[in-house]
């Protein structure tokens, strides 16, 4: 037990400062926050209530300053400020596309950078967040897959991307406002850099924070996790997060999928489909999204479209066709528009919704698959420029 009471409401002296400085409140689950508050001297009896109060300030109102948490005793605010911080990753740069898409280059600990993209649509919008720096997988059509440096993001860095976007968009509710109806960040997709199922625990904790009704309060149906097909982890998406699932399918034969999505060599199409057929939340109202990138002459024939609908027969699904987004040195071309429409038509006539994803933010390299830490490239360019040539 802590030693001595220091302030009237029975708070006790913190026993020791956390190693390495202050504890970041962002990214802690409710249980972790409770334990940290007790560790810092909050009486057990009060801890649950304090968690609720702090949680609302941080995640409902977007506050970053303990001093402004007016429903907490002044001394308690001082203690919190001494022991804790409310820190989100810094935005290094922000680019805005001609179509309104915003791309944030975000700095995280260790000097690493990831990208977060906001895609506005009719007064609402989707935030595309990253789960890793780079990606260990090497899908041959994806720019992120060419980045060697990889590290998992922490839950704080994942939920922090949502918070920094809401800061930038001025999307936190004002005092007294409770509604979640007209928010600008209305949906989240885990479709940025990285394979979310290779960083499952951090992604899960971050999404639980985002879904928590007393905070950011985005419903589970407004969150979509996209995986390249990490078969053993797929069911956990339903049982431990409960969000929507999208799968990067992209090919209808193992020979082609092995080339496009190399994880297919570990878990092939049959294994992936078996996991999807067993998916715990599968129903007509909770369909799985099959993502299918349209690569000219590679996977876009009528035969591919017909094979696709045969393969997924019986799985409540929607097929999202993604025109390939080019990046410097990419070894593929985007399928022609007529080809994409013909493909979509076959899929649609087989009974599946087959929307074609409009490329957004291409002019700032913010479209699907174009993300790669730009600063790494910029640094390299500076180095190259600084190298004497004579």
Q: Which two tokens stand for residue 100?
A: 């309104």
Q: Is 139 in the site for ligand SF4 (CB under 6 A)?
A: yes
**Exactly one of 116, 228, 264, 373 binds ligand SF4 (CB under 6 A); which one?**
228
Output the CA–CA distances (angstroms, integers) from residue 261 to 142, 229, 250, 369, in the order listed. 9, 9, 8, 13
233 is catalytic: no
Exposed / middle / buried, residue 253 (Cβ in 10 Å: 0-12, 13-18, 19+): middle
Q: Which two tokens stand for residue 83?
A: 């022991």
Q: Is 290 in the site for ligand SAH (CB under 6 A)?
A: no
* Closer residue to ligand SAH (CB): 51 or 294: 294
Q: Is 185 in the site for ligand SF4 (CB under 6 A)?
A: no
CA dihedral of 224, 262, 192, 343, whole degrees rounded to 10: -60
Q: Which does 361 bind (CB under 5 to 8 A by kind): ligand SAH, ligand SF4, none?
A: none
* Closer residue to ligand SF4 (CB): 126 or 325: 325
Q: Is 137 in the site for ligand SF4 (CB under 6 A)?
A: yes
368 is catalytic: yes
Nearest one of 242, 132, 123, 243 to 185, comparing CA atoms: 123
* Closer residue to ligand SAH (CB): 86 or 158: 158
Orientation angle between helical segments 302-311 and 337-349, nearest 10 degrees: 30
Q: Is 244 in the site for ligand SF4 (CB under 6 A)?
A: no
Chain centroid, CA 242 distance in Å: 15
Dist CA 59 CA 50 (whole Å): 14
Dist CA 96 CA 364 (whole Å): 7
Q: Is 195 in the site for ligand SF4 (CB under 6 A)?
A: yes
Cβ 135 to ligand SF4 shortest distance, Å: 3
User: With CB under 6 A, what is the number of residues at the site for ligand SAH?
Assistant: 16
Q: Which SS3 state, helix, strand or coil, does residue 285 take? A: coil
Q: Is 322 in the site for ligand SF4 (CB under 6 A)?
A: no
**Exactly one of 24, 248, 252, 299 binds ligand SAH (CB under 6 A); which one?**
248
* Closer residue to ligand SF4 (CB): 144 or 154: 144
Question: Of all residues in the chain, what percent are helix, strand and coil, respectively (each to 5)?
Answer: 40, 20, 40
Q: Is 299 in the site for ligand SAH (CB under 6 A)?
A: no
Q: Which does 267 bind (CB under 5 to 8 A by kind): ligand SAH, ligand SF4, none?
A: none
Looking only at residues 3 through 32 of this chain, which bind ligand SAH when binding is defined by CB under 6 A? none
Q: Is 362 in the site for ligand SAH (CB under 6 A)?
A: no
Given the residues 128, 142, 243, 368, select the one marked as catalytic: 368
Given the residues 19, 85, 115, 139, select the one marked as catalytic: 115
Looking only at residues 305 through 344 of this chain, which bind ligand SAH when binding is defined by CB under 6 A? 322, 324-325
Looking only at residues 144 through 163 of this chain, which bind ligand SF4 when binding is defined by CB under 6 A? 144-145
Dist CA 26 CA 158 (whole Å): 10
Say if CB 119 and CB 360 are below 8 A apart: yes
Strands 102-108 and 112-121: antiparallel
Distance between the two ends of the chain, CA-based, in angstroms? 69
Run of H or E residues at 350: none
Residues at the interface with ligand SF4 (CB under 6 A)? 135, 137-139, 142, 144-145, 194-195, 228, 248
Residues at the interface with ligand SAH (CB under 6 A)? 139, 141-142, 191, 195, 226-228, 248, 291, 293, 322, 324-325, 368-369
Q: Give catalytic residue positions.
A: 115, 368
């Amino acid at each position: 037990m802590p030693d001595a009471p220091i302030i009237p409401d029975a708070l006790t002296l913190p026993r020791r400062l956390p190693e390495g400085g202050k504890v970041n409140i962002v990214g802690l689950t409710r249980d972790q926050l409770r334990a940290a508050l007790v560790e810092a001297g909050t009486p057990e009896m009060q801890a649950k209530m304090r968690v609720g109060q702090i949680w609302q300030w941080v995640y409902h109102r977007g506050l970053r300053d303990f001093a402004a948490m007016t429903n907490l005793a002044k001394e308690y605010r001082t203690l919190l400020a001494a022991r804790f911080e409310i820190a989100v990753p810094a935005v290094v740069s922000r680019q805005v596309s001609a179509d309104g898409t915003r791309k944030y280059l975000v700095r995280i600990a260790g000097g690493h950078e990831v990208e977060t993209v906001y895609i506005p649509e009719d007064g609402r919008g989707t935030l595309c967040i990253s789960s890793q720096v780079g990606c260990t997988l090497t899908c041959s059509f994806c720019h992120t897959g060419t980045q060697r440096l990889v590290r998992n993001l922490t839950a704080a860095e994942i939920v922090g991307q949502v918070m920094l976007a809401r800061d930038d968009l001025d999307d936190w509710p004002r005092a007294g406002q409770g509604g979640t109806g007209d928010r600008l960040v209305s949906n989240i997709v885990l479709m940025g850099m990285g394979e979310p199922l290779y960083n499952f625990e951090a992604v899960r904790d971050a999404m639980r924070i985002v879904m928590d009704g007393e905070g950011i309060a985005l419903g589970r149906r407004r969150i979509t996790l996209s995986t390249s097909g990490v078969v053993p982890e797929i069911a956990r998406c339903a049982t431990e997060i409960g969000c929507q699932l999208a799968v990067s399918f992209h090919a209808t034969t193992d020979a082609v999928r092995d080339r496009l999505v190399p994880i297919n060599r570990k878990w092939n199409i049959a294994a992936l489909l078996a996991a999807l057929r067993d998916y715990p939340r599968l129903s007509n109202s909770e369909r799985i999204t099959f993502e299918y990138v349209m690569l000219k002459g590679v996977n876009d024939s009528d035969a591919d479209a017909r094979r696709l609908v045969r393969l997924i027969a019986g799985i409540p699904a929607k097929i999202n066709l993604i025109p390939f987004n080019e990046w410097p040195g990419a070894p593929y071309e985007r399928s022609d528009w007529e080809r994409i429409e013909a493909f979509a038509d076959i899929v649609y006539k087989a009974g599946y919704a087959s929307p074609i994803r409009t490329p957004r933010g291409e002019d700032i390299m913010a479209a699907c698959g174009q993300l790669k830490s730009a600063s790494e490239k910029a640094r390299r360019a500076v180095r190259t420029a600084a190298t004497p040539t004579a």
